[in-house]
C-alpha cells in the first residue's frame, strides 16, 4: 500500500503496480450500481486548475462558484469561531453565506460579535436570518423596525426568513403561529427595505407553498429540503417524545422534487438556493443542472464539523468540494440534456 515516504520513481511505480494486483479483486463494480444521472464525457475534460472558477451572478453579487453556506449558527458560545471561519472562507473564495437565526439581537446586542463577520466576507453576500414567528410577533407589536435595525447591525445584504411550523410544534419552548406564514410575509413585504429570501429548515415545501412564494416580491427561495438535517427530528431528539407527532418528522419534499415543481412553474426571476440534503457535489451539480432558473448549491451541516475545527481544516474541506464540483462540471452532463 501507499507508503508515506517519498520513493525513487521506479520503486514508486513498482509499489503501485503491486497495489493494483493486490486490490484488483476488490475493485470490481456491478453494472446495476451505475449512476444513471449523468453522461460521462471524458473527451472534453481537463483536470481543474487551482485558479479555475465557475463565475455565477447571484442576488446581485458575482460569486466565484455557485456555492452558498446555509444558515447555521449564532447565539451560542461556539458560534463566533464557526461564523468567522465560514465568513473567511466566503471572503477568500467568493461564496455566499446565511447567518444562523439572529433572533437574540432583536432584544440584546451582547452577542453581536458572533454575527459580526461581514468584515471577513469581502465582496461576498451575507444574509441575516430570522424565523417567521418573530416576524409575526414584531408585526403584531408594530416593532418591525427592530428587524431592520438587526439587518443593519450585522451589515447584512439581505434577510433570510425561515418558515418552520413543525420545528416550532416539536420544540417544547416553540412558538405558535397565530396567522399563516403567507399572511405574515405579505404584511412584512409591504414595507421591507432589503432583498428577502424565504426558506424551510429541512422539510422542504410543497407545490402550493412554492407557487405562493413565487408570487411574492422576494428575491429568492432557499429549498431547505427534506433529506438532510431536519429540525423537526432534531427537536424530537431534544425530548418531544409524543407518538402522535412522530409521523410528522418524515413529511416533506426532497430537493429533487422541489426542483421539478419549480421547473413547471413561472419562477418570475426568483433565484434559488438548492439546499437540504446536498451530501456531495454530484448531488448539487445534478440539481443545479436540472433547475432552469438561476441557482446556487447550499450546504449547512457538511461545513459544520470542519468549521468547528479551524480555518485550515475548513479550507481543505472546501478545496476538495471545489475540485469535485469543477470536475463534475467539465466531465458530466445530465442524461437527456446534451
Ligand X SMILES: Cc1cc2nc3c(=O)[nH]c(=O)nc-3n(C[C@H](O)[C@H](O)[C@H](O)COP(=O)(O)O)c2cc1C
Count the residues of the shown chain that bind ligand X, applying the rule CB under 6 A.
23
Handedness of CA 292, 296, 300, 304 (dihedral sign): positive
Candidates 221, 238, 112; CA nearest to 169 is: 238
Window of 41-49, 209-217, 295-303, 330-338 that interacts with ligand X by CB under 6 A: 295-303
- The helix (run of H) or strand (run of E) holding residue 63 is strand 61-63
Window of 5-13, 87-95, 166-174, 294-302 that interacts with ligand X by CB under 6 A: 294-302
Instruction: Kindly state whether residue 295 participates in binding ligand X, applying the rule CB under 6 A.
Output: no
CB atoms within 10 A of CB 189: 14
Please select the residue that binds ligand X; options are 181, 277, 284, 306, rule is CB under 6 A: 277
Candidates 154, 147, 117, 111; CA nearest to 130 is: 147
Distance CA 37, CA 30 (A): 16
Record the cell numbers describing residue 224, joined without a space: 431547505
- Enumerate residues 51-110 that contact ligand X by CB under 6 A: 70-73, 100-101
Cβ of residue 201: shortest distance to ligand X, in angstroms?
Answer: 5
Please select the residue that binds ligand X; options are 87, 133, 281, 300, rule is CB under 6 A: 300
Record the cell numbers describing residue 183, joined without a space: 399572511
Q: Indicate the residue among 221 and 326 with the shorter CB distance to ligand X.
A: 221
Distance CA 169, CA 312 (A): 39
Please select the residue that binds ligand X; options are 299, 307, 331, 332, rule is CB under 6 A: 299
Cβ of residue 235: shortest distance to ligand X, in angstroms?
Answer: 12
Please select the residue that binds ligand X; options are 59, 154, 278, 307, rule is CB under 6 A: 278
Instruction: Kindly state whether residue 203 participates in binding ligand X, applying the rule CB under 6 A.
Output: no
Residue 268 Ramachandran class (φ > 0 left, ψ -120 to 50 alpha, else beta): left
CB atoms within 10 A of CB 319: 12
Q: Indicate the residue among 161 and 331 with the shorter CB distance to ligand X.
A: 161
Collapsed DSSP state (helix, strand, coil) of residue 287: helix
Handedness of CA 154, 76, 99, 84 (dihedral sign): positive
Cβ of residue 128: shortest distance to ligand X, in angstroms?
Answer: 10
Binding flags for ligand X, 213-232, as an x/- string (CB under 6 A): -----------x---xx---
Closest residue to bound ligand X by CB:
228
Distance CA 176, CA 222 (A): 22
CB 272 within 8 A of CB 214: no
Record the cell numbers describing residue 163, joined without a space: 418558515
Record the cell numbers describing residue 28, joined without a space: 470490481
Q: Indicate the residue among 96 and 228 with the shorter CB distance to ligand X.
A: 228
Instruction: Kindly state whether residue 202 participates in binding ligand X, applying the rule CB under 6 A.
Output: yes
Q: Indicate the residue among 75 and 333 with the shorter CB distance to ligand X.
A: 75
Residues that bind ligand X (CB under 6 A): 70-73, 100-101, 129, 162, 199, 201-202, 224, 228-229, 275-278, 299-302, 304
Amino acid at each position: 500500500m501507499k507508503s508515506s515516504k517519498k520513493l525513487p520513481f521506479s520503486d514508486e511505480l513498482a509499489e503501485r503496480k503491486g497495489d493494483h494486483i493486490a486490490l484488483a479483486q476488490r475493485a470490481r463494480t456491478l453494472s446495476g450500481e451505475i449512476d444513471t444521472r449523468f453522461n460521462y464525457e471524458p473527451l472534453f475534460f481537463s483536470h481543474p486548475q487551482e485558479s479555475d472558477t465557475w463565475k455565477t451572478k447571484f442576488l446581485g453579487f458575482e460569486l466565484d462558484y455557485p456555492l452558498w453556506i446555509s444558515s447555521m449558527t449564532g447565539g451560542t458560545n461556539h458560534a463566533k469561531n464557526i461564523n468567522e471561519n465560514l465568513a473567511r472562507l466566503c471572503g477568500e473564495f467568493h461564496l455566499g453565506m446565511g447567518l444562523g437565526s439572529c433572533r437574540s439581537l432583536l432584544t440584546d446586542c451582547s452577542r453581536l460579535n458572533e454575527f459580526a463577520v461581514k468584515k471577513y466576507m469581502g465582496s461576498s453576500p451575507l444574509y441575516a436570518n430570522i424565523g417567521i414567528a418573530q416576524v409575526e410577533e414584531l408585526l403584531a407589536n408594530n416593532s418591525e423596525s427592530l428587524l431592520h435595525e438587526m439587518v443593519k447591525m450585522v451589515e447584512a445584504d439581505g434577510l433570510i426568513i425561515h418558515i418552520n411550523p413543525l420545528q416550532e410544534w416539536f420544540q417544547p419552548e416553540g412558538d405558535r403561529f397565530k396567522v399563516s406564514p403567507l399572511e405574515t410575509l405579505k404584511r412584512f413585504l409591504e414595507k421591507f427595505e432589503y432583498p428577502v429570501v424565504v426558506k424551510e429548515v429541512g422539510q422542504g415545501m410543497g407545490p402550493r407553498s412554492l407557487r405562493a412564494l413565487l408570487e411574492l416580491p422576494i428575491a429568492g427561495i432557499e429549498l431547505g429540503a427534506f433529506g438532510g438535517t431536519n429540525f423537526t427530528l432534531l427537536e424530537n431528539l431534544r425530548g418531544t417524545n409524543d407518538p402522535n407527532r412522530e409521523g410528522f418528522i418524515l413529511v416533506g419534499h426532497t430537493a429533487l422534487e422541489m426542483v421539478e415543481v419549480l421547473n413547471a412553474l413561472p419562477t418570475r426571476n426568483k433565484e434559488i438556493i438548492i439546499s437540504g440534503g446536498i451530501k456531495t457535489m454530484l448531488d448539487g451539480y445534478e440539481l443545479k443542472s436540472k433547475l432552469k432558473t438561476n441557482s446556487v448549491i447550499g450546504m449547512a451541516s457538511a461545513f459544520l464539523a470542519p468549521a468547528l475545527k479551524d480555518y485550515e481544516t475548513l479550507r481543505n474541506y472546501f478545496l476538495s468540494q471545489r475540485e469535485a464540483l469543477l470536475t463534475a462540471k467539465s466531465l458530466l452532463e445530465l442524461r437527456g440534456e446534451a
